[in-house]
Structure formats: structure tokens, C-alpha cells
Structure 1
């Protein structure tokens, strides 16, 4: 079969012919249909992600396809022949191949109302968006006042989902982007509060709006100087969740913005959130994703490429993330 193969971190992924894997107990073989390129995939390619696998390895964390073979166990047999969305096993090769073996518990059957393209993007961003609002709900709110959310890298697929869900729930969301064209992109999404971090008065506007909307729950995917800008602007008692590092600059925090304000910083990783919340909550979240994936959790697809065009696909995604998702088709 054809697969994208990474030989070492930071290396250029190449296309190679490798054997079709066989599913073991509790596993299924998926004939892949599509898989997106996500920021987490780029981090994995560079060797900077939380999941480590031995090289050579097939990248790709999520996708969709059809289960064509099943290992021992009840669940694998149930999924046999089904169209599914799937996540890669942390111990096996990933989704960027014509066939992939993963655990049966990492698969979800797709309803007829969900396309295989949207299904291939059902795990990473939609579940993260819903997890953010679960974090919002479960973070203590001593004042009992309505709180706002600040989210950076807001022109991304995930950022747009946060805007739509916030609007649905009546929670004000301050969306931070870095270019004027991204401001224009978000207005049709229903974004009410958009700030451009490249504007000279960005920090002043951010502080005014944060205080006005009581925006005490902060999500940052940028890193660099952004976390400090968020903490300086946010009301006292805010909590910053860092879930990405798009900037290559080091992140520096003024101790006073933690010591004297009651502000807190915490990392967020979807994998940990799923483990901490258990199987039942995960299943309920997946059900909610399926119910919202055509509207609030829908993802715009910018371009689609064949597996042989992996180099071009990665470059297009790196340089034009806010245009929409790039899909690999098999």
C-alpha cells in the first residue's frame, strides 16, 4: 500500500510502499478515505508533539474510512463493514496511508447525514471546541457573573467553532487574529468581538474589552508574547489554558501577573481531557459532535490532495491555515 512515511523528526515526509497491516485483538483495519492536516500533525512532524512513536512512522491523527477487517473481540466485529471516523492509535502507524490499523475503541460509526470528508475531521477540532466549553463550565466562578472567553488563532477551523458555539450558548467570545483579512473572514461566522494583534492599540483594546465582558477564561494557541498580553489584559482571577505554540518565540510571563492577581496558567491537551473524563463522557461528546457537525462544528475544506502530493499539501496548509482545512485523499 502507499503511505506517507516520516524517517526522523524534522525530516521531509515521503511516500513509500509498505505492507498492509493486520489487525490484532481489539483492533480493526480501516481502508482510509480521507485525513486532514492539523497543527498537531505539523508538531508531530517536527518532533514537538506529546505523542512519540518509533521511526519510520506513518503520521496522521484522524481520518475516515471503512472497516474492512477485524481482529478478535466484539467491538471490532460490530464495526466490520461500517463507514467510520477514526483516530490513530498512539502506539501504531497513523492515518496518512491507504490502510490503517487502530483500536476499535478509536472508531465511531458515521451516520448517513455526515459526509466522509466532514467525518475525517470529527475528532481533533470539534471535540476540542466542546472540551473548551466544558472547561469553561467547570472552572470555578465565585462571582456567578457571566464570563467571557478569549481565544487566539481565531481564524482557524477551531477558532470558528468556538465562535459559533459561544453564540449558541450566549457566551461572549473575544476572537484574536493577526491580519485584517482574517477579521473580515470571521464576521460572517457571527463573531461580535474581533481584535487584530497586529494593530498598534491591540493591548489597550484587549484590556478594555476583557474587562467589559468579564473575559476570565483564556485559550491560547500562539505562545510567544501572547500569553503575557492576555494575562496583562484579563480581569483578576482569570485562568489561561495554553493548547498550542504557533510562535517559535520563547514564552515569558511576569511573575507579578500571577502573584498579585490570582491568575493561573494551565496546559490543555485533548488527549488528557478525554482520559480524565472517562468513556461515558467521551461517548456523549462524540454524540454531540455528530449532532452539530453540519452547522456549529462544520469545517470548511480549502483543498484536497492525493497522497502523492503530500509535500504540496503540507506547504499549502502551513502558509494558508485560515483558508480552511487541507485534506489528503486515498
Structure 2
């Protein structure tokens, strides 16, 4: 079968190539064989392939943390409810491996996909929508004002959708001035502010209603030195939620000193999913699937490709602003 393989640690576009590899062996006692139907590329793939997690990453590695497939076979000890998944679509979680035509996965990591969702929608149900759903429910309930960095990103669009739908709250979007990038739905945002402007913090405070002196919550996927500015922009007692490191460096230690009663929360989807009881994992996706049925939390696609076309797209910026890459492993 065909697979996209990272031969060694490094940038995706330098180390990933497509080759013919052996078909997976028959499923182990607790495993399902999944024929991948669609997958995509995420920053988590780039970070993992870079070698950032040497203790849990071995090479050669088949990346791909997100995708959808059809269960073809089940191991002998797979229980009846999971055995019923044969012939049905699932999201195979638990680790990389979606950039190939077939893979085997422990049955407890396979999330059944509702029949009403098409493959294109369901392919993107995991990383961005689930992260957005969990963060909004965990950190934004009762917030009077919320700001979101990297507002033109796909996940920022999901966050704005959820805040307006669930709390009738339009967030403030913070952008870095990337040429050609725009938010998906301007009506869901109170205002967009460029962090390249020297007075962006004053602009942010001016948008916040009343005398709150800053947003109650800032959802940040950038990290790095700007984190200290974000903490200082919070209202007293506010919360900075860090869920990404696009800057490539951690928050300064001063962010955690509790100034003005502020606090920093670190949200990692992997930690949440891996610490959750496996039997309850499908319940995490119930709110996501319900919203997708209603036409929300849908991810725009910038380009479709087969596996052979994937290496040429990695590192080009495709999928970083105007939609994601949709990969058909059999194309």
C-alpha cells in the first residue's frame, strides 16, 4: 500500500516522502483495521516530525493525527459493541498514522462517526473542533469579554462560532497582519486588532465593555514573548489560555507570577484525550457532532490531493490561512 513517511526528524517538506510499504498485519486481539478515507495535515504533525518529542517518537514515522476511515476487520477479543463497527466510519485517535491507506488501531481509540456527516466534514472533527469545544466550555462560561489571537486561523473561526452561538458573545480578534488572511465570518467578531500596532493593547481595552480594563479571557496559540503583553492586557483576575506555540518558544516565566490576580492555563488536547477514560471518549465528541449537524464547526478546504501530491504541498503555506489540506489516500 502507499504511505507518506517521515524518514528522520526535521521539517515536513524535507523529510516526508511517499513510498510503497507493507500492508498492515491482521488486527491484533484488541485492534481494528481501518481503511483510511480522508486525512489532513496539522501543526501537530510538523511539531512531532520535527523531533520535539523524542521520548515518544520513533522514525521512520507515518504522520497524520486526524482523519476518517472505514473499519474493515476486528481482532478476536474486540467486544461486541466495537465489533459492530465493522463496515462503519470511525475517527482513529491515539497517535499518528493517518497518512497511509490502511492502519490498525486499538478499538478503544476509534470514535464512531454519525451517518449524517459526510467524509469531508467528519475528517476535521477532531483537533480544531474538539479543542475549541472543550476550551469554550471550560474557560469561557461566564466571561464578559474574550480575545483570540491568530484570529484568521481555522480554530479561531471555530472559537468565534461557539462563543456567539453558546454565549451570544462576540470576541475580539488579534491578528499579526499576515497578507491575504481574513477571518471566516466578520459578523462573529466585535473587532479585529493588529498586534503590529504599537497601541494594540489600548485598542483592546477600548473595545471591552464597561470598565473591565481588559478581556476576562484571552485564548492564545502563539506563546513566546508576546505572552507577557497578553497577560498585562487581561482584566484583573483574567485568564490567559495557552493552547499552541506558533512562536516556537514558551511563555516567559513572568507570565505565571499572578500579577493583578491573573492566571495562565495550559490546554493540551493530547493530555485531555489521553487522560480521559477510553469508554467515555465518544461523549467528548457529542457536542462537536451536534454542532456539525447544524452546519457549524465546518472546516474550509484549500486544496485536495492524493498522497503522492502531499510532499509538494508541505512547507508551502497551503492550508495555513485559507483552509486546510484534504488528503485522499486512494487518489
| TM-score of Structure 1 vs Structure 2, range by shorter chain | 0.7 to 0.9
Partner of 1:77: 83
Q: 2:148 aligns with which of 148, 151, 163?
A: 151
CA deviations over 1:144-192 (Å, ceiling 9, x no partner): x643222212211111000011001223422212227667434445222
The verdict on how the C-alpha distance between 1:312 and 1:85 changes in structure 2, with shifts beyond 3 A counting, is same
What are the within-5 Å matches in structure 2 for residues 65-144 of structure 1?
Answer: 65-72=69-76, 73-74=78-79, 75-87=81-93, 89-90=94-95, 94-136=97-139
Q: Is the 8 A contact 1:34 1:120 kept in 2?
A: yes
Partner of 1:230: 230
Separation of aligned partners in 2, 1:235 and 1:186: 27
Partner of 1:142: none
What are the within-5 Å matches in structure 2 for residues 36-51 of structure 1?
Answer: 36-48=40-52
CA deviations over 1:276-298 (Å, ceiling 9, x no partner): 55457643331221111252211
What are the within-5 Å matches in structure 2 for residues 147-296 of structure 1?
Answer: 147-169=144-166, 170-179=168-177, 184-188=182-186, 190-210=188-208, 212=210, 215-248=215-248, 251-254=251-254, 258-276=257-275, 278-279=277-278, 282-294=281-293, 295-296=295-296
CA deviations over 1:220-251 (Å, ceiling 9, x no partner): 11122321121111111122221111113564
Segment of structure 1 superposing worse, 149-158 or 299-308: 149-158
Q: Is the 8 A contact 2:6 2:61 kept in 1?
A: yes
Q: Is the 8 A contact 1:2 1:18 kept in 2?
A: yes
Separation of aligned partners in 1, 2:218 and 2:54: 22
The verdict on how the C-alpha distance between 1:146 and 1:155 changes in structure 2, with shifts beyond 3 A counting, is same
Separation of aligned partners in 1, 2:55 and 2:131: 17
Segment of structure 1 superposing worse, 44-53 or 262-271: 44-53
Unmatched runs of 5 consecutive residues or more in structure 1 = 139-144
Aligned length in residues = 319
CA deviations over 1:197-227 (Å, ceiling 9, x no partner): 2233212212333575662222211122321
- The residue matched to 2:315 in structure 1 has which SS? helix
Confirm whether residue 62 of structure 1 aligns to residue 66 of structure 2.
yes
Separation of aligned partners in 2, 1:217 and 1:158: 16
Separation of aligned partners in 1, 2:102 and 2:313: 19
Task: State the shift of 1:16 in Å.
Answer: 1.7
Unmatched runs of 5 consecutive residues or more in structure 2 = none
Task: State the shift of 1:50 in Å.
Answer: 8.8
Q: What TM-score, normalized by structure 2, do the two folds share?
A: 0.87
- The residue matched to 2:246 in structure 1 has which SS? coil
Partner of 1:304: 304
Q: Is the 8 A contact 2:48 2:57 kept in 1?
A: no
